[in-house]
Structure 1
Amino acid sequence: MRIAIDAMGGDHAPHEIVAGVLQAAKEWTDAELILVGDSARIEALMSERPGNVRVHHAGDVITADDEPGKAVRRKKDASMVVAGRLVREGEADAMISGGNTGALMVTGLLIVGRMEGVERPALAPMLPTMDGTGVLALDLGANMDASPEELLQYAIMGSIYRSKVQGIAKPRVGLLNIGTEAMKGNTLTKTAYGLLEQAPIQFVGNVEASQVMRGGCDVLVCDGFSGNVMLKAMEGTADAVFSTLKTEFTRTWMTKLAAAVMMPGLRQFKKKLDYKEHGGAPMLGLSGLVLKCHGSSDALAVKNAVRQARVALQSGLVQAIAAEINTRK
């Protein structure tokens, strides 16, 4: 298997990207890892290169400030675009990038290509849960609006992903809503509810945002606007909690002592909420495998994204989704 990694995408590129790829290369020697970007900068960061790592030069970069559509169309030699082209042309089986999310979505649609039968691909990151297993949520920002039929496709794709990549035999699929009753919500969720009941998935009904972190489902389906609002609220709450704890635990010598006693438990709790443990968010519904890393990903997050891509390729994720979508035409 061949995995192309955008070495220039992200806040800590290229050094953290290269470091993560080198770690992954040593652990999974069956994967050929292709670092795409400024070859001179990449080579300078490798004192020695494992045999399963190669560099593919790309002379341009899409930045966080670039307008996605224009950047992808005009910067044809950008590392993200080149990585997508490698997937489209069969020179790579998957691509990973921590760069501009909007540009990566455009790259997926215009360069890699949308899967036949899929209305809109979805961004599907893992959200933390208190039991540590996480919930795959889609869509969380690739598309602001969605139709009931698109939510149905999200549910099917998410269920296949958790089954194929993460080994959950019968993933529980929930619909994000303002209440658990079947007739709660707006026209979108009410119509989608009926479609999900008839789908070949384990649909467990509506799930309120307050129950997401308690592990009420394995796959959470929502439109991109609602999902992104929920995600930002969760991130803001987590930041506020840890900031408040740090202030309180450093207030007096007694609270510092208490902090020392509680530190192992707090570290474990923080680890459950750490995006680095999950690696990347797949963009489901494309004709090739595309993973989006967090913009501030370090070497550990990049390594875990490679692991994620490797498992997805081994399990035939894209082919499984395509087969299920095609049966429903």
Structure 2
Amino acid sequence: MKVHPTRKFDNTAKNYQHIQAVPLAAAMGAEIRGIDISTITDAQFLDVEDALYRHKMIYFRDQDFSHADQESFSLRFGEFADDAYTTGVDGHRNVHPVIMEAETRAEMVFGNGWHVDSPFMKQPPSISMLYGVEVPPYGGDTIWANSVLAYNCLSETMKAIIEPLKIHFSANSVVNQLKKEADDKRKKDVDGGRTKGFGDMELDMRTQAMVDGSFHPLVRTHPKSGERALYVDETYTHGIEGLTADESAGLLSFLKEHVSQPAFTCRLKWERGTFVLWDNRICCHHAFNDYDGHRRALYRTTVKGEIPV
């Protein structure tokens, strides 16, 4: 059922002293102006942090900073999270490349499909950040959904039904796709060279833990704001604890469709120098794979989160 989120969430901007926040959509998101990430002050950071928790996703245009600057900024929020899929760049192991080469042709790309970052981990990342260094001339947008707003728009009866439930999150489907693409690449030789794609992401001893996954509350509470949010996605959600697959299928299908409907979303067009932060605990996102023939290079850092409650 499609809903209109009237009065369910306030995405208007505060009058900050050190930054300007400009809302991106009614549901969530804001552009932050008047700041250079590489020279951010403590006072500016406090405003940025407040804006992030208010708008769920914030972004900055025309940034120009180094891997070290991105690491330094990320550490203001907390220690780095482990990355389940990639290794960091040389000399900066916590800055992870998210790169699609122009010649790559893949049905599945990193970030494709609605998902929360690494919910199969015992302590999923709390905050995710992406810095756009090279972007295609068109396509490659990212869309986010406000899981707090999605929860607020449920009936009180539905809230009561899902309150005690726990989701089983697993990377099984993604790992299987990684293995398939890796096998396909071994069978190919593209012009005698090497084509970089989703299958290049390393699979190490943590793979089994990713597949086994974790159980987390379907409704989680934000540790700072106290907001309640749906914690469910279409990529990593593999069932509900205590229910059979048939019993959980209908409910999960409804919730996945509900949380990602347009009324709860904002959409960002990437530009070179765009830097994006989002609260991984209370929103999910989806990257579009519609820029064949063009290279895209983003660099990601994540902040270690707490065990969801």
TM-score under structure 2 length normalisation: 0.29
- Structure (1 or 2) with the greater strand fraction: 2
Structure richer in helix, relative to its length = 1
Instruction: For CA contacts below 8 A with separation 6 or more, give which structure has more relative contact order.
Output: 2
- When Rg is computed on C-alpha atoms for both structures, the one with the higher figure is 1
* TM-score, normalised via structure 1 length: 0.28
